[in-house]
């Protein structure tokens, strides 16, 4: 509402009636495109295939994000190569969305139940997306 210069939508969420309602994500997903996952991987000379995530943070005022990859692989010359341990994707949401160059036809919802944590509260959320090619995002972390 207010931060975006629009009217309030009136849809706050809270962990329980003992907590204060606040703006929260509920179900976040992206529609499918028209590319096969294999075609997206083959188009990458040197990159990362982030197959699954666990946890993350988003600063809704700046758009900055960080997501931990629980399953990731190196892509070399269009082929999935060795697994990568401890990778973190770091960036700015609006900028990352501008860098999406391919969208897969394999949209799927995460089978688990995620949690959005904010100010000490946790609420269940659903997420899903197709395979994406993002032309530039910062990859950090440690390898052990």
pLDDT in tens, 88-131: 999 999 999 999 999 999 998 877 777 777 888 888 888 888 99
Q: In this structure, are residues 57 and 66 in contact, taking their beta carbons and an 8 Å threshold?
A: yes
Domain residues for 89? Answer: 2-141
Q: In this structure, are residues 80 and 49 in contact, taking their beta carbons and an 8 Å threshold?
A: yes
Number of separate domains in the chain? 1
Helix (H) or strand (E) holding 126: strand 121-129
Cα–Cα distance list, 112 to 8, 12, 108, 121, 141 (Å): 30, 23, 12, 19, 25
Which has more confidence, 19 or 127? 19
Q: pTM (2 decimals)? A: 0.78
């Amino acid at each position: 509402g207010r931060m975006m210069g629009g009217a309030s939508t009136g849809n706050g969420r809270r962990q329980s009636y003992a907590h204060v309602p606040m703006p929260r994500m509920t179900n976040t997903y992206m529609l499918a495109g028209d590319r096969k996952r294999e075609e997206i991987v083959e188009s990458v000379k040197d990159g990362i295939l982030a197959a699954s995530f666990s946890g993350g943070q988003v600063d809704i005022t700046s758009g900055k994000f960080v997501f931990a990859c629980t399953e990731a692989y190196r892509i070399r010359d269009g082929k999935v190569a060795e697994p990568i341990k401890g990778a973190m994707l770091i960036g700015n949401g609006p900028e990352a969305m501008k860098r999406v160059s391919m969208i897969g036809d394999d949209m799927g919802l995460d089978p688990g139940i995620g949690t959005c944590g904010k100010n000490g509260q946790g609420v269940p959320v659903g997420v899903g997306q197709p395979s994406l090619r993002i032309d530039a995002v910062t990859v950090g972390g440690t390898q052990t």
